[in-house]
A and B are shown apart, each in its own frame.
Chain A
Amino acid sequence: MITASPTAPARERAMPGWLRRVATPKTLIIVVVAGLIGYLALVPLYYLIWGTFFDANGFTMGGFARAYGDPRVGGMIGNSLWFAIGAAVLSLAVGTALAYLNVRTDVPFKGLFFAASIIPLIIPGILYTIAWIFLASPDIGLLNKVIEPIFGPGFFDVFTVWGMVWVEGLHLSPIVFLLMVAAFRSMDPSLEESALMSGASRWQVFRRVTMPLTRPAIVAAVLIMVVRSLESFEVPALLGLQNGIYVFTSRIYFVLRTYPPDLAAAGALAVGLLVLAVIGVAISNLVGRSSKNYQTVTGKGFRPRPMELGKWRPVMGGAIVVYFFLTVVGPLLVLLYTSLLKFYQAPSTEAFASMSLDNYSELFHISAATTALKNSLLLGVGSATLVMALMAVGAWMVVRSRIPGRQLVDYFSFTPLVVPGLVLGLALSFVYLRSPVPIYGTIFILLIAYCTRYMPYGMRYAVTSMHQISSELEESAQVSGASWWQTFRRVLLPLLSPGLLAGWIYILVVSFRELSSSILLYSPGNEVLSILIFEQYENGQFTVLAALGVVMVLTLAVLVVIAYKLGAKVGLRQD
């Protein structure tokens, strides 16, 4: 046709106009960010389900049958619950008692609490577990050597469920401590004082006033700790496998390590673990929401006054020193001690005489060590940067925008919080084993895993910072004629930067500890530090491992102090 109908050009002009309106940098960025968040959160779960329930012939329950048909599965579930609940109860008892002493009493050595509460960030779980093996293994444990003359050999045995409960519980207790400190701080102390004035004894006050009022916090803490212990990999793998004590995570690992690996059965176990984790988190949310708001009028008389412990003060002080030694000094010292030896041995004059820094200098000559350090740094910096960049935009969507479906962005970014690291690792291998893009076997799959795992933390930092910036600052930039992107880059980002930086360092720190996802995704040449330590442990290279551990702890300590300072500045607490 030569003569065009009058409507055609009009429509032609309308289309680019519509496109131009939609394809602004703003929409592009938002769509890309929302898409990435959704992709990272959902795709692994989808493939996990798919890989578990479908094989070449379609739907199948074969994986489930093989995983749960095993006669040992009952024991495995029992051990999982025993371990998880035991560790949760231990961490709760210790953490709550410490928090109460710290907030409400005149207990001595309050300075130690600070150190004890940031240690879990500094000692990665794998090192903590190995340190306890050095301390309480029946054959080589130093504690056993010390008490051998009295109790005979092998009195402590860390390779039991009780040993696992002990190590995991102690490692989690600082987190409970932080949660409960917040709970006790927010309680009006005159509620306790009025009970005291009514003639109640200390114990009656604690049982009938303090405990009921902090119950919501306690329930939440216990559930979170149960979920975290269920997800824990380091402790069950290093302590349980030796004596054939399986829990979900170590069983999944075992199934994947036997040849040929039964992916569907591992998937079935992973789904089971995921369901347990989801139930735990769901209950804790439910409890959190339905718990009555106990906020009462607080007058200006609100002034937390420490309770005098009287004759119990030295006793409690002693208990705190013991706790500090058990959780901090003991594990660190034994690592340091081991790192100076030629071969692992109990302390003796010869042992001390043979001490040297050889293991440290050897670290420079092991190519695997430098590679692992490089990889860990690369992954830490990479994932921290990517996550914080994504979450800066994500937080803006959730907090500021009126975009429909923004709540989904919020949900998706927090989804990985309930996915155990090992499950995520498995799910990602399901995705990228099938993917035509050659990512499996490269460091990129680790990067994807890290980004996914740390998305929730990044979101939390970004959202908190975003809430602290008045929306009027943004609006005034818009009124001044700035575009969305200009406003974001010139006003929001600079204001957000302290919070984003704190989140960045936090992610960098925790990424050094990552083991449970990496263990399923790494390939030779792509080891990270925690994997290297795991390998060296399996090879029995205790002394070099200890040296590597000491270096790692020192590096992390510096990073954590910076993160803590920055976090305090933007009003965030780490856990």
Chain B
Amino acid sequence: MLRINNLVKTFDGERRRRHSHAATPEEARVFAVNDVSFNVENGQLFTLLGPSGCGKTTTLRSIAGLERPDSGTIEVGGRVLFSTNEGKKPVNVPANERGLGMVFQSYAIWPHMSVFDNVAFPLQVKRRGDRVSRKEISERVMRVLETMELANFADRQATKLSGGQQQRLALARALVIEPPLLLLDEPLSNLDAKLRESLRYELKRVQRELGITSVYVTHDQVEALALSNSIAVMRNGNIVQLGRPREIYENPNCRFVAEFIGTSNFLSGNVVSKDDDRYTVNTVDGQLVLDSAATLPIGTDVIVSVRPEAVEVSTTSRAGEVPNEWKGTVLTRAYLGDSLDHVVGLGKHELRTRGNPSTSIEPGTTVYLRMDPAKLVLVPVD
């Protein structure tokens, strides 16, 4: 549905030249998007996830046609929207002829129009040939407003809506032309936590009901995991890992991804033996066995990522029965409502664990930590 190949977008670094050591404007260029490629299948929700400044917005705006990439190709539903392929004629379809839907971070609701007019606008500005009748405009607008539960506000001034309603209005406006592709730039980031959660599911529902292919930009990993069919984690203009939410979470391919998605304990160590997929790793705090599909020679320095919820805390030892049991002392605990964290001291380091709130252990108690080899992740040192 959406195919992006080798997208590159740079900006002049002139404004920063004074502070950087770059001698020429060329050296000072900012590579906001640096050779990014991905495909999105029909009806899927694809998420660009990454820290601030990693190039998510720039990628999205390039798809929208609001930013002109330096090179690469962008194709939607077989139609080439942008291309700089050598040999062929360069293509750059203007934003207003791409026919895509977009929801802006600031919503960009037109304050001088009513709710109805905001949604009707994309239909009203259609080209002569495709223009729809007044009656049909009104029908289609009302249908979309109903889907978004805004029908009662049709005549209201758009600025008189609450934040959540404005957000839904922005979505309604993007959807009214039934675009082949919907682009969303951090659409929930201006809302408070509670509302964000309910709208997240609302968004998922609409997206699935309409089966609309979407590209979603966020820096919120929870949002990304909850909504997406697949996720691309970006860093400094590059995609570092691309996969289904579960893969990304359970098998991060580098420390950056593991750190960015969820919380993790990192233990550095050294591969001491390898038997098929089963590795044994020596760390400062003890030995660990774990399963990994990676092919690393013995002696390699590695990092083991331990998710807090992959650690079982117990006051009794089962040494010998199960692998990876370590002894430690509870330092602190934190009650988080739906879970309970213990921070356990292991001589040199501390390990955060997460479990059911029913297991609560006094600080100072000696405990045994057990880690399932299948849930430990071997991350190459970058």
Contacts and interface: CB of A to CB of B under 8 A. Distances in A.
Interface in B54-106: 57, 64, 66-68, 95-102, 104-106
Contacts of B174: 197
A296 B159 contact: yes
Contact of B96 (A197, A297, A298): A197
Contacts of B173: 194, 198
Interface residues of B, number: 38
A292 B121 CA distance: 21
Nearest to B104: A190
B163 A297 contact: yes
Contacts of B286: none
Interface residues of A, number: 30
B126 A199 contact: yes
Interface in B164-210: 166, 170, 173-174, 177, 185-186, 189-190
Given A197-B100, A201-B125, A212-B112, A299 B177 contact: no
A188 B105 CA distance: 11
A297 B111 CA distance: 10
A305 B186 contact: no
B109 interface: yes
A301 B111 contact: no
Given A301-B57, A308-B68, A198 B125 contact: yes
Given A191-B110, A308-B68, A198 B177 contact: yes
B104 A201 contact: no
Give the interface centre of B68, B95, B96, B109 by most chain A CB atoms within 10 Å.
Answer: B96
B106 A302 contact: yes
Interface in A294-321: 294, 296-302, 305, 308
Interface in B238-270: none
Contacts of A197: 64, 66, 95-96, 98, 100-102, 174
Interface in A175-226: 188, 190-191, 193-202, 204-205, 208-209, 212-213
Contacts of B122: 198-200
Interface in B209-259: none
Given A190-B108, A294-B111, A297-B163, A199 B190 contact: no
Contacts of B67: 305
Interface in B21-70: 57, 64, 66-68
Given A213-B112, A294-B159, A199 B106 contact: no
Nearest to A193: B66
B97 A199 contact: yes
Contacts of B279: none
Contact of B125 (A190, A200, A297, A300): A200
B368 interface: no
Contacts, number: 100
B116 interface: no
Contacts of A294: 111-112, 159
A204 B186 CA distance: 27
Given A198-B173, A297-B166, A301-B185, A292 B105 contact: no
Give the interface centre of B68, B109, B112 by most chain A CB atoms within 10 Å.
Answer: B112
A199 B99 contact: yes
A193 B106 contact: no
Nearest to B67: A305
A301 B105 contact: yes
Nearest to A308: B68
B126 A299 contact: no
A298 B112 CA distance: 16
B108 A188 contact: yes
Contact of B66 (A191, A209, A305): A305
Give the interface centre of A188, A194, A202, A305 by most chain B CB atoms within 10 Å.
Answer: A194
Nearest to A211: B112
B159 A193 contact: no
A63 B170 CA distance: 63
Interface string B297-328: 00000000000000000000000000000000
A386 B110 CA distance: 48
B121 A195 contact: yes
B100 A190 contact: no
Give the interface centre of A199, A200, A213, A299 by most chain B CB atoms within 10 Å.
Answer: A199
Contact of A200 (B121, B163, B186): B121
A228 to B, nearest CB: 28
Given A198-B122, A213-B112, A308-B68, A300 B105 contact: yes
Contacts of B101: 197
Contacts of A212: 112
Contacts of B109: 296
Contacts of A204: 125
Contacts of A300: 105, 189
A184 B325 CA distance: 65
A451 to B, nearest CB: 43
A338 B159 CA distance: 58
B108 A191 contact: yes
B96 A199 contact: yes
A308 B67 CA distance: 10
A183 to B, nearest CB: 14
Interface in A533-575: none
Contacts of A213: 110-112
Nearest to A212: B112
Give the interface centre of B105, B177, B185 by most chain A CB atoms within 10 Å.
Answer: B105
B65 to A, nearest CB: 8
A195 B113 CA distance: 12
* A-B residue pairs, 4 tightest by C-beta: A198-B122, A299-B105, A194-B108, A301-B105
Given A199-B97, A299-B186, A301-B185, 13 more contacts: A190-B108, A193-B66, A194-B102, A195-B125, A197-B98, A204-B125, A292-B112, A296-B107, A296-B111, A299-B106, A299-B190, A300-B189, A305-B67
10 contacts: A190-B108, A197-B102, A199-B122, A201-B125, A213-B110, A292-B159, A294-B112, A296-B106, A296-B107, A301-B105
Interface of A: 188, 190-191, 193-202, 204-205, 208-209, 212-213, 292, 294, 296-302, 305, 308
